[in-house]
């Protein structure tokens, strides 16, 4: 999934320092915000396909951390050094693909732990990308098609910079076909708006086989009479593997690719197994980083509101971090057997704080029951391999989780 999140604070005005590039962190600028909430889903007409139902759970929000649970000790074991491995994905055969954020290459960690010296794909070269402003742009999320073993499709997301300013201008979701161990025949399936801050950093296939694409939005005021659903920023999109509207999203023809709305910067999301709802973080502007229960047809408030709210038609977060800002990034639902104590938990990486385990009740997930630190160093992305290993990354290395 993603890159270094977190607050940009007062340091991110202008270009990155020459000696140390600014991380593509979550901007904490104060911005003007409209109070217009995304409209509720509308019933389909007889000429439209039946829409997926709006998520039904009620969220009980928290403004303080829930209790911890007793977990065994864990440690990080370095697998490989890497150049800002912003996104990780596990192949069915046990290989790990990772993206180099600004370098723009996708590389492979073989099953024996060695790194293939030749890139799987050079995305920057293919699309003529060269980064001069190192902010919220680059190559990040990777996802294997659910039918990969049949069609060999692998999806990646990258931003493309503006030639004049050097900042991100577009986000491209690209489908590659793997041929003889290399990514070939790239095809752009989505071309989305991007900006200097808060873009698209992850790609997730849901249990329904659809591709979910969270998009960022630093809340500059939208035009006064504009339909907030018409702007694809600050949404979670749900599209077919070809990038098309599936025809049954909750807002119908009004917003055919939109699944949920009201986000500033949801880096990643992970579904409950075989369910139609997910969990993901959101990075606030100044404060109010969040953990959200993500459901179809819900509006999570941004830019009208951040954090816990009782406003009608807005869904509050499971957890509002208030002034504590961990900057949540990659997340997965752990279903492996290598770490039995973590089975059934969501593992969430934070750009400032490492990996934590989240415990929710799948049948009634509207309340966060436990939040427990697992290991330091998980500041970008994480993935579960077919044998149940948890692999995660920071700005310079890739690790596996091991008993402590």
pLDDT tens, residue by residue, 54-66: 999 999 999 999 9
- The reported pLDDT for the residue numbered 43 is 57
Cβ–Cβ under 8 Å, residues 371 and 357: yes
- On whether residue 69 sits in a domain, the answer given is no
Q: In sequence order, what E strands does 326-381 have?
A: 328-333, 346-350, 354-359, 370-375
- Exposure string for 36-46, b = 16+ CB within 10 A, e = fewer: ebbeebeeeee
Q: Which residues pair with 261 in a beta bridge?
A: 235, 299
State how far the Cα of 71 lies from the Cα of 342, in Å rounded to an integer. 8
Residue with tokens 């999301």: 269
- For 34-87, the pLDDT digits (tens) are 333 455 665 555 456 788 999 999 999 999 999 999 999 999 999 999 999 999
- On whether residue 261 sits in a domain, the answer given is yes
Tokens of 102: 């600004």
- On whether residue 9 sits in a domain, the answer given is no
Tokens of 346: 């969501």
- On whether residue 137 sits in a domain, the answer given is yes
- On whether residue 201 sits in a domain, the answer given is yes
Q: Which residues pair with 237 in a beta bridge?
A: 213, 258
Q: Which residues pair with 165 in a beta bridge?
A: none
127's enclosing H/E stretch is helix 123-127
Residue 240 sits in a domain whose CATH number is 2.120.10.30
Four-residue CA torsion sign, 398, 210, 207, 250? positive
Strand order in the sheet with 153-161: 139-144, 153-161, 168-179, 182-193
Domain count across the chain: 1
- The reported pLDDT for the residue numbered 227 is 83
Percent of the residues in the chain that have a pLDDT greater than 70, as a whole number = 86
Instruction: Indicate the average pLDDT of the chain.
Output: 88
- For 333-390, the pLDDT digits (tens) are 999 999 999 999 999 999 998 999 999 999 999 999 999 999 999 999 999 999 999 9
- On whether residue 23 sits in a domain, the answer given is no
State how far the Cα of 145 lies from the Cα of 128, in Å rounded to an integer. 25
| Domain interval for residue 171 | 74-403
Percent of the residues in the chain that have a pLDDT greater than 90, as a whole number = 77
Rounded average pLDDT over 391-395: 97
Q: Which residues pair with 348 in a beta bridge?
A: 331, 356
State how far the Cα of 182 lies from the Cα of 96, in Å rounded to an integer. 13
- For 353-363, the pLDDT digits (tens) are 899 999 999 99
- On whether residue 233 sits in a domain, the answer given is yes
**Could you report how far apart the first and last alpha carbons of the chain are, in Å?**
26
């Amino acid at each position: 999934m993603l890159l270094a999140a977190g607050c940009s604070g007062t340091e991110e005005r202008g270009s990155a320092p020459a000696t140390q590039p600014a991380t593509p962190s979550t901007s904490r600028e104060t911005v003007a915000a409209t109070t217009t909430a995304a409209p509720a889903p509308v019933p389909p007409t007889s000429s439209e396909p039946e829409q997926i139902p709006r998520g039904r759970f009620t969220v009980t929000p928290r403004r303080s951390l829930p209790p911890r649970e007793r977990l065994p000790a864990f440690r990080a074991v370095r697998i490989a050094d890497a150049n800002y491995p912003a996104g990780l994905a596990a192949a069915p055969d046990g290989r790990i693909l990772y993206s180099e954020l600004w370098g723009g290459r996708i590389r492979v960690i073989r099953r024996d732990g060695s790194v293939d010296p030749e890139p799987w794909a050079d995305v920057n070269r293919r699309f003529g990308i060269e980064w001069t402003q190192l902010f919220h742009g680059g190559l990040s999320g990777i996802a294997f098609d659910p039918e990969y073993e049949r069609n060999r499709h692998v999806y990646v997301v990258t931003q493309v910079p503006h030639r004049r300013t050097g900042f991100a201008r577009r986000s491209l979701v690209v489908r590659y076909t793997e041929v003889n161990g290399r990514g070939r025949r790239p095809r752009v399936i989505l071309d989305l708006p991007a900006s200097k801050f808060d873009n698209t950093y992850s790609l997730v296939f849901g249990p329904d086989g659809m591709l979910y694409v969270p998009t960022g939005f630093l809340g500059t005021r939208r035009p006064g009479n504009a339909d907030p659903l018409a702007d694809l920023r600050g949404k979670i999109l749900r599209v077919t593997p070809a990038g098309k509207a599936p025809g049954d999203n909750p807002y119908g023809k009004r917003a055919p690719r939109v699944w949920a709305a009201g986000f500033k910067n949801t880096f990643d999301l992970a579904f409950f197994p075989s369910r139609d709802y997910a969990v993901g973080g959101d990075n606030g502007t100044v404060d109010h980083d969040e953990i959200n229960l993500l459901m179809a047809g819900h509006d999570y408030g941004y830019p009208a509101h951040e954090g816990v709210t009782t406003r009608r038609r807005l869904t509050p977060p499971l957890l509002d971090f208030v002034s504590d800002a961990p900057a949540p990034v990659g997340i997965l639902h752990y279903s492996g057997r290598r770490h039995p104590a973590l089975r059934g938990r969501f593992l969430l990486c934070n750009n400032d704080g490492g990996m934590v385990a989240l415990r929710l009740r799948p049948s009634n997930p509207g309340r966060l029951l436990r939040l427990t630190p697992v290991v330091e160093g998980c500041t970008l992305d994480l993935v579960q391999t077919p044998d149940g290993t948890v692999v995660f990354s920071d700005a310079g290395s890739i690790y596996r989780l091991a008993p402590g």
